[in-house]
Chain A
């Protein structure tokens, strides 16, 4: 039985070089972005969500880059097509990154980007949102987890 968690900061990290490469790909005007409805992997996204764009991460083929344009949002929701993901905030960093907010047990929990390179294991069955009311497009990397997460929880 998997113990309940909202999100867990993992001991593994994305290296500085990888973070830089990911940020470059995110900000590259030639990077192509897909709408959620164009994603072919059923397990990946919430299909009702048209406020987020995806791109394949070149240095991490198992991952997708996600883009929330400035002043767009993902209102509070629970993902229907997946339970868990590994989540890495990429750009912008520090206080310019609008956090992913979780609503649980009458409390708010946030994943911010005050520790660039940090990896988080996220429970997408807990209601969550992202309001990118900033002057920047917002990017993160997500790897959907479909199998046993017990090993990840041990990290």
Chain B
């Protein structure tokens, strides 16, 4: 986890951003010279719900040096179903409003940085309950259903970094193959 954290923080510091094709296919790699583009703000809503003063976006980062992460955490049986993989960063004082992913079904999710109470959890809303996916167990990998309403609010002074491996199959099918 220390190596993953170092590489994630280093990447975030350089702000190298995944390119558009890589969002759809992981074989395309980010150019280190890429600057942050509007389309990297993957969850920025086109029509704001209200006149909010909090930023609404998250950005994606990829470099081939990250490949060892998926080699560590991705089951062989799922490799052919990967749609994309990247470090997801949510900068301080940014919110990803409650939503259901439109283009993604499920992902393998590794919270990286920060840890424990400084990592703002992914909050799920299901059956009238709030379910909290935090980083109190660094190194723990989760399979997440992105068709369940969820949100993130990074109300800290630290960037919030995690690794996401997105699949083109529904959560239940992925679960069966694990």
Contact = CB atoms under 8 A, between A and B. Distances in A.
A29 to B, nearest CB: 23
B49 A127 contact: no
A155 to B, nearest CB: 26
25 contacts: A76-B125, A76-B130, A95-B48, A95-B51, A97-B50, A98-B50, A99-B50, A103-B125, A103-B128, A106-B125, A106-B126, A106-B148, A108-B149, A112-B50, A125-B128, A126-B128, A127-B125, A131-B52, A131-B54, A131-B153, A133-B52, A133-B54, A134-B53, A135-B51, A135-B53
Contacts of A96: 50-51
Interface string A82-105: 000000000000011111010110
Range of interface residues on chain B?
20 to 34
A78 B129 CA distance: 9
A103 B124 CA distance: 10
Contact of B129 (A95, A127, A133, A134): A127
Given A99-B49, A127-B128, 11 more contacts: A95-B48, A101-B98, A103-B98, A106-B126, A106-B147, A110-B49, A125-B128, A127-B130, A131-B52, A131-B153, A133-B53
A6 to B, nearest CB: 11
A116 to B, nearest CB: 14
Contact of B128 (A78, A95, A135): A78
Interface residues of A, number: 24
B158 interface: no
Interface in B140-160: 147-149, 153
Nearest to B126: A106
Contacts of A108: 98, 149
Contacts of B130: 76-77, 127
Contact of B95 (A104, A133, A134): A133
A77 B128 CA distance: 9
A108 to B, nearest CB: 6
A95 B50 CA distance: 5
Contacts of A127: 125, 128-130
A107 interface: yes
Contacts of B98: 101, 103, 108
Interface string B48-62: 111111100000000
Nearest to B127: A105
Contacts of B123: 76
B52 A98 contact: yes
Contacts of B149: 103, 106-108
7 closest residue pairs by CB, A with B: A133-B54, A103-B125, A133-B52, A95-B51, A98-B50, A96-B51, A95-B50
B33 to A, nearest CB: 34
Contacts of B54: 131, 133
B128 A134 contact: no
Contacts of B35: none
Contacts of B148: 106
